[in-house]
Structure 1
């Protein structure tokens, strides 16, 4: 079997891509990591010769695994769609990546289907803090609409901090920066749950614990991790969220909320260094086995 992983050039040697390579070698899979900048798309009736790699026609792989997540550019998304239209098996699909890339879109999909989420508001600038304070109480969370690995997440504990942050965003005049305001779910005490879903089934879960005095529990942001025993409620929330967003591969972040839970984020290209450390599971192997089933081939 031949597979491509689509990634940003600076991430070619990431932990995850090294693990994909290592497992591919052990399973006899021909794996190549490629960047969107290496390709040209030609819309033509010539079919599979309508995409060029480094300027030349290329034999397509059996499957494509996009690993750009929130950093998926317009060109990368167009390339993924083009390969889908050429009949390539792609996981995750272009539509599901687009759904997950925008946190507001993700939450709208989940809320429409009665999945519990934190109350969320799209910020409009200049920000009317009086309206924000009618809808929320401090502390509250401010996030960029597109972001991953805990980046672009801020805690505002009072009106002064909220105004300072709003002024900073507004003065930047960067129209590409859209933010959401979200209620702060208190019950986690710096902890959340990450469930890894492959093929619409959970393969395991971990609890992430933020460093003392820190907001972000992400392993990449310095948080610690431990295995988490899935219960039916968390299992259902994770699998249902991945299904609704349309993802074959997903990292579902779930907040503790007293005796219940809320889905916080859905990630289309989840990191798994901390997950493998916490659970001992082999994520690339799980993904390759799923591809095997979908393609009906033996590896």
Structure 2
């Protein structure tokens, strides 16, 4: 605790912005990436951090496997996407003794890892959503010309 306090004080002395996140021991270095499209979880994977690494990112050596979500996890992911006003996003959850906890909402998640882990064509799902919901001329910009 004293070491953490000293580190935080050092960053404060530099006027640096930092984020301190609660450590969820029961998550065991794993998180769940839920891909939400149009208010629905279309794919989910459990990511496990590499040995000695608390972050579970695949590009940091983590591994991934398909995971079955609980109703609470599904609802939490959809609620997080809605709260951020995003039609498509990755929601990272931790399984805690207090239920699912949102760790991050990513507005531009990578698709390669979740497609490989789940065997789903997530990119295709994104295109299907866009085709169904795009409005003609909705990308026009206002200008002087």
Answer whether TM exceeds 0.5 for this pair: yes
Unaligned runs of 5+ residues in structure 1 are 1-157
Question: Would you tell me which structure has more helix in proportion to its own residues?
Answer: 1
The residue aligned with 2:55 is: 216
Task: Calculate the TM-score normalised by the size of structure 2.
Answer: 0.84
Q: Structure 1, residues 13-58: CA drift from partner, whole Å, max 9, x if none?
A: xxxxxxxxxxxxxxxxxxxxxxxxxxxxxxxxxxxxxxxxxxxxxx
Task: Calculate the TM-score normalised by the size of structure 1.
Answer: 0.43
Q: Does the 8 Å contact 2:45/2:67 carry over to 1? A: yes
Q: Does the 8 Å contact 2:43/2:122 carry over to 1? A: no
Structure 1 pair 291/210, CA: closer, same or farther in 2 (3 Å)?
A: same
* Structure 2 CA distance for aligned equivalents of residues 162 and 268 of structure 1: 32
Instruction: Select 1:184's aligned residue among 17, 23, 40.
Output: 23
The residue aligned with 1:160 is: 3
Q: Which has the higher contact order (CA 8 A, sep 6+)?
A: 2
Q: Structure 1, residues 170-215: CA drift from partner, whole Å, max 9, x if none?
A: 46x4x6x422222211111111111000111110100000111111
The residue aligned with 2:37 is: 198
> What root-mean-square deviation, in Å, do the aligned CA atoms of Structure 1 and Structure 2 show?
1.9
Is residue 137 of structure 2 the alignment partner of residue 294 of structure 1?
A: no
Q: Does the 8 Å contact 2:111/2:123 carry over to 1? A: no
Deviation at 1:224, TM superposition (A): 0.4
Instruction: Select 1:263's aligned residue among 102, 112, 136.
Output: 102
* Structure 2 CA distance for aligned equivalents of residues 273 and 165 of structure 1: 36
Unaligned runs of 5+ residues in structure 2 are 137-145
Q: Secondary structure at the match of 1:266?
A: strand
Larger radius of gyration: 1
Instruction: Select 2:70's aligned residue among 213, 231, 242.
Output: 231
Q: Does the 8 Å contact 1:204/1:230 carry over to 2? A: no
* Structure 1 CA distance for aligned equivalents of residues 2 and 46 of structure 2: 32
Deviation at 1:166, TM superposition (A): 3.9
* Structure 1 CA distance for aligned equivalents of residues 7 and 83 of structure 2: 36
Q: Secondary structure at the match of 1:180?
A: coil
The residue aligned with 2:121 is: 282
User: Aligned residue pairs: how many?
Assistant: 136
